[in-house]
Amino acid sequence: MNEIHFDIEAFLAIASAITFVGWIIAKLKFKGDAEAPEGFVGALIGFGYSFFPVFIFVLVIRTFVFEPFRIPSSSMMPTLLTGDFIYVNKFSYGLKMPVTHGTLIETGHPERGDVVVFRYPLDQSKDYIKRVIAIPGDTVFYDRRTKNVFLNGEIVPQEAMGSYDGFHDDISPQGLNLKKEALGEGREPHLMLTHNGYDNLFKNTKMTVPEGHYFVMGDNRDHSADSRVWGLVPERNLVGEAKFIWMHWRIPHFFEGLKRIGSKIK
């Protein structure tokens, strides 16, 4: 059963439905709003006539095409930083109904390495962003000691690149190690971070991903609560694929941050 969650999408759907009534009345009975009666009723009809096209346009774009998001935490460093505003393609993984989020038309499925936005399974009023590590049918194993990922019995290659000295958010960059990780043939390796030592937050994790679910992790591996902690992401929770950074805004390192604008997310 599809659950309904009240968010901005739900507000737009309700506003579209209410103003549609005013638009219909104005069109059929008052030939637009020119002949609408004066007073409160007339004002409501005029409001619906004027704003229904605006609400329905924004709802369609936000539901089926794209949605802007702001990165709120450091869990995807160094790929994404706090203050990045990203473009999310909502067409990548299917056209979905507003509010209930049921799939109308399938247009594709996440692949290993995709950076995806999804509704947090434990609180669907929140949007999270992580990288897809394993897809349905994969057996995934995370070794907390070596910080390696194994897919279907084979280690996911990691290349050490030395200490990380780039931008940092709410954690100290000291002790962070920059690496490249390759999640499959034909896919460009992505950057990731690990920290010296290990945290009791994470345990060795091994599972076979069932149909309709995805195993996701943050690129800042030791500072990301993800599928190692709270489990898998159901396919119906997917919002879209993160494509590029269209704006960066934060006071520290402001001008350096602006150089990130237009960067492709990979």
d(CA 217, CA 228): 8
Catalytic residue among 130, 179, 224, 227: 130
Catalytic residue among 75, 92, 224, 227: 75
Residue 133 to residues 19, 41, 115, 241, 261, Cα–Cα distance (Å): 43, 55, 10, 14, 26
DSSP for 162-215 reads EE--S---SS--TTEEEEEE--STTS--EEEEEESS--TT---EEEEPPTTEEE
Residue 90: active-site member: no
What is the token pair recorded at 119? 């509704």
Residue 243: active-site member: no
204: which strand partners? none
139-143 and 205-208 strand pairing: antiparallel
Would you call 113 helix, strand, or coil by DSSP?
Answer: coil
What is the token pair recorded at 185? 């043939």
Under 8 Å between Cβ of 220 and 193: yes
The catalytic residues are 75, 130
